[in-house]
């Protein structure tokens, strides 16, 4: 059940004012006075006025049982009227009328509302984007890829893995298609079995068959320019494709490798010639292995025809390079780099030209910048630069950067950039800040009215206005937020009054607010539509990678020298070497781990794969997401079959490891969508 959002100060005032006329009992009066007290505490007004109103409420509570109800109602109405005046007169440094923007209103938050913002997950990002890394990589999952030659079709790639929780089994599913976000489900095994039984009863069990034959795959490879097998023969229900490769026999002792080979490859050695035979069996034994995994998919998508999908094992997904591509694709939804603009506004300034021309960094602005970041010298800087020049000094000598949780942030501070007197519009500065999505507006003075409509930019969607103040001898910062009308409000919500006294709380609030605001803005049509086109292009490239992959030929290209010997007399495989394909980022397994590998091979109940830990989470800039999608689709392999160069990360040298980034990636607890009885 959804929790009702916290009310704004205006909403609370109207509610209290409407209910004061309906008071009948002492309990009603007590509730009304308590609500009035909460409202008064939330007012953005001088402390003297708040104390005066609270004293009036306190006096009413004392005499409510000895005073006529009409007198209590009259006094409560007077307090409500005073509250309205305070709301109207609340300080503001933003222009009162907007055309394309909305002002985010402060809300009356509960006392238990968390203020440790660094522990809060950004609500505009889906933590389930890490599912493939957390629950699939290193496990015996399968990948299903739809083949459809229809012009303009949307590719579909589905990943399924079986899990054991206590004594029960379940299936975790990720479906990637035309939707902007991937669909993720957890299906209990009982549901999958029920779906399979229902299909069998209806005589439709064939919908769960794996009918994408190796021959079809060869046809696809040839049509796409891929490498096909040489020759083929069919016997009974088995289609066999054989590729003969001549190798040079060496007398050197082979290195010891993990004793796990690709199960579908049978290697014969005879007179210096290695023959790799890959067998694709259309019998029920092959279907039974993954039939329940397919049934789990049918339980959540009843109209899907899985016979049109090609199935790849985890090993084949790794060998084809598809696993790395899927990792990058899924985790593109969770960016690690952000860039935010910083403008200063002074008394009497009302135009865009005046705001971008400010060059002096005042003491209060410098103090604020040191709270949200730290100064860095741009020349030779190796961290995330957000496009700032680090060689010639074109962007200035210094800027401010920071890392928060696992996110690396660079600020485009307008007053720190070179000011060109002959350029009235300061195009050089606006080239950076005008291409940001979120901008901090630091107001220096008490007679400023910032108008976001004055800034001409297609990218700037959110402005966070900061005004430093001294309240009762304490340093404080007033916060106001302006969003474009198509950008929804996001957490953390503005408290009422929207004033923060603590530096750490201010920094945490702004970091979380800016990250959430940028991700919320990226869901608008102006960003989502072009980004989605780029995403579809990446998905098509990944789909072609999996459909083009030829297990026999591609395996031979990777393993020119085989160490497996097939003993035909005893009908057994003698494993002298051979290497199981590694998951993305896997390291070589040491010789000391061979004992545990052998134990794992003999333990049929151990479903844990022998794949080393997954690599660190890849990073990308959400602000330049469309560019990143395009970069991925352009990465065509020059000599292989994979259209994606998974070893490179978009963004160039500015995306190198940063000395600021000290936190490790945070993997959250499981967040799931269950399909149950």
Q: How confident is the model at residue 68 (pLDDT cuts 50, 70, 90)?
A: confident
Predicted confidence at residue 517, as pLDDT, reads: 96
Predicted confidence at residue 20, as pLDDT, reads: 83
Predicted confidence at residue 111, as pLDDT, reads: 75
Predicted confidence at residue 512, as pLDDT, reads: 95
Characterize 318-338 residue by residue with b for buried, 16 or more Cβ atoms within 10 angstroms of its Cβ, and e for exposed.
bbbbbbbbbbbbbbbbbbbbb
β-sheet bridge partners, residue 563: none
Residue 288 is inside which H or E element, if any? helix 284-300
Q: What are phi and psi of 296, to 5 degrees?
A: -60, -40
Higher pLDDT, 65 or 220: 65
Predicted confidence at residue 290, as pLDDT, reads: 85
Predicted confidence at residue 303, as pLDDT, reads: 86
- Cis, peptide link before residue 228, omega less than 30° from 0: no
Most confident of 347-351, 459-463, 523-527: 459-463
User: Which of 92-101, 448-457, 524-533, 607-616 shows the lowest mean pLDDT across its residues?
Assistant: 607-616
Predicted confidence at residue 35, as pLDDT, reads: 92
**What does pTM read for this prediction?**
0.74
User: Which of 140-154, 205-219, 522-536 shows the lowest mean pLDDT across its residues?
Assistant: 205-219
Q: How many angstroms separate the CA atoms of 191 and 202, rounded?
A: 17
Predicted confidence at residue 674, as pLDDT, reads: 54
Q: How confident is the model at residue 145 (pLDDT cuts 50, 70, 90)?
A: very high
Higher pLDDT, 609 or 35: 35
| pLDDT tens-digit series, residues 27-59 | 888 888 999 999 999 999 999 999 999 999 998
* Average pLDDT of the residues of the chain: 76
| Chain position carrying tokens 């505009």 | 124
Is the pLDDT at 564 greater than 80? The verdict is no
Work out the percent of the chain whose per-residue pLDDT is above 90. 47
Q: How many angstroms separate the CA atoms of 467 and 373, rounded?
A: 17
Characterize 243-265 residue by residue with b for buried, 16 or more Cβ atoms within 10 angstroms of its Cβ, and e for exposed.
bebeeeeeeeeeeebbbbbbebb
Determine the topology of domain 103-109+340-523 in CATH: Rossmann fold (3.40.50)
Which residues, at least 6 apart from 48, have a Cβ–Cβ distance to it below 8 Å? none
| pLDDT tens-digit series, residues 155-199 | 899 999 999 998 899 999 999 998 888 999 999 999 999 999 999
Q: How many angstroms separate the CA atoms of 118 and 65, rounded?
A: 47
Question: Domain residues of the chain, as ranges?
Answer: 9-88, 103-109+340-523, 129-242+255-332+531-675
The alpha-carbon radius of gyration of the chain (Å, integer) is 32
Most confident of 90-94, 125-129, 237-241: 90-94
The first and second tokens of residue 615, run together, are 């690599």
Kindly report the CA angle at 393 between 387 and 395, in degrees rounded to 5? 45
| Chain position carrying tokens 């009308």 | 485
| pLDDT tens-digit series, residues 520-546 | 999 988 898 888 888 899 999 999 999
Torsion of CA 125, 330, 336, 620, to 10 degrees: -130
Q: How many angstroms separate the CA atoms of 158 and 177, rounded?
A: 9
């Amino acid at each position: 059940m959804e929790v009702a959002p916290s009310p704004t100060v205006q909403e609370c005032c109207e509610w209290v004012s409407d209910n004061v006329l309906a008071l009948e009992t002492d309990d009603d009066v007590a509730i009304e006075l308590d609500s009035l007290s909460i409202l008064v505490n939330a007012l953005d007004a001088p402390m003297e006025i708040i104390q005066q109103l609270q004293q009036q409420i306190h006096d009413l509570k004392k005499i409510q049982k000895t005073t006529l109800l009409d007198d209590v109602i009259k006094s409560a109405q007077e307090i409500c009227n005073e509250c309205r005046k305070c709301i109207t007169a609340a300080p503001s440094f933003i222009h009162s009328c907007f055309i394309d923007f909305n002002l985010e209103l402060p809300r009356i938050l509960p006392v238990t509302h968390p203020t440790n913002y660094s522990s809060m997950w950004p609500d505009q990002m889906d933590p389930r984007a890490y599912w493939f890394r957390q629950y699939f990589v290193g496990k015996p999952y399968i990948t299903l890829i739809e083949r459809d030659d229809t012009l303009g079709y949307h590719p579909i790639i589905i990943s399924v893995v079986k899990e054991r929780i206590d004594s029960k089994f379940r299936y975790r599913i990720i479906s990637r298609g035309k939707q902007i976000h991937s669909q993720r489900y957890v299906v209990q095994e009982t549901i999958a079995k029920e779906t399979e039984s229902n299909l069998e009863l209806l005589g439709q069990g064939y919908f769960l068959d794996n009918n994408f034959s190796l021959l079809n795959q060869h046809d696809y490879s040839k049509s796409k320019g891929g490498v096909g097998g040489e020759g083929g023969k069919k016997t009974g229900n088995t289609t066999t494709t054989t590729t003969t490769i001549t190798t040079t026999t060496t007398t050197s002792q082979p290195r010891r490798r993990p004793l796990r080979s690709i199960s579908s490859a049978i290697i014969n050695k005879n007179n210096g010639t290695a023959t790799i035979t890959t067998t694709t069996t259309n019998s029920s034994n092959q279907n039974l292995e993954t039939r329940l995994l397919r049934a789990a998919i049918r339980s959540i998508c009843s109209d899907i025809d899985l016979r049109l999908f090609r199935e790849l094992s985890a090993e084949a997904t790794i060998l084809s390079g598809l696993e790395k591509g899927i990792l990058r694709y899924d985790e593109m939804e969770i960016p690690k780099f952000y860039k935010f603009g910083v403008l200063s506004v002074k008394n009497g300034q009302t135009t865009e030209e005046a705001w971008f021309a400010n060059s002096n960094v005042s003491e209060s602005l410098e103090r604020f910048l040191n709270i949200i970041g730290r100064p860095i010298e741009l020349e030779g800087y190796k961290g995330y630069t957000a496009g700032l020049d680090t060689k010639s000094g074109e962007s200035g000598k210094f800027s401010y950067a920071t890392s928060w949780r696992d996110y690396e942030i660079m600020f485009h501070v307008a007053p720190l950039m070179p000011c060109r007197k002959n350029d009235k519009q300061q195009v050089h500065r606006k080239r950076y800040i005008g291409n940001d999505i979120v901008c901090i507006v630091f107001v220096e003075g008490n007679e400023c009215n910032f108008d976001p409509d004055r800034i001409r930019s297609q990218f700037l969607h959110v402005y966070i206005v900061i005004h430093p103040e001294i309240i009762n001898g304490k340093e404080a910062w007033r916060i106001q937020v302006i969003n474009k009308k198509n950008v929804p409000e996001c957490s953390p919500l503005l408290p009422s009054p929207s004033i923060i006294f603590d530096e750490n709380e201010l920094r945490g609030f702004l970091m979380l607010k800016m990250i959430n605001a940028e991700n919320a803005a990226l869901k608008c049509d102006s960003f989502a539509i072009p980004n989605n086109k780029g995403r579809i292009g990446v998905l098509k490239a990944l789909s072609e990678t999996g459909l083009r992959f030829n297990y026999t030929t591609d395996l031979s290209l990777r393993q020119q020298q085989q160490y497996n010997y097939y003993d035909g007399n005893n009908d057994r495989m003698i494993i002298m070497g051979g290497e199981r394909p590694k998951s993305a980022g896997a390291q070589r397994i040491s010789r000391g781990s061979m004992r545990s590998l052998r134990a794992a091979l003999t333990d049929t109940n151990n479903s844990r794969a022998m794949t080393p830990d997954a690599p660190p989470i890849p990073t990308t800039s959400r602000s330049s997401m469309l560019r990143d999608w395009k970069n991925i689709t352009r990465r065509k392999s020059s000599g292989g079959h994979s259209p994606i160069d998974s070893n490179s990360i978009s963004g160039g040298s500015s995306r190198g490891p940063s000395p600021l980034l000290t936190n490790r990636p945070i993997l959250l607890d499981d967040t799931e969508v269950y399909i149950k009885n």
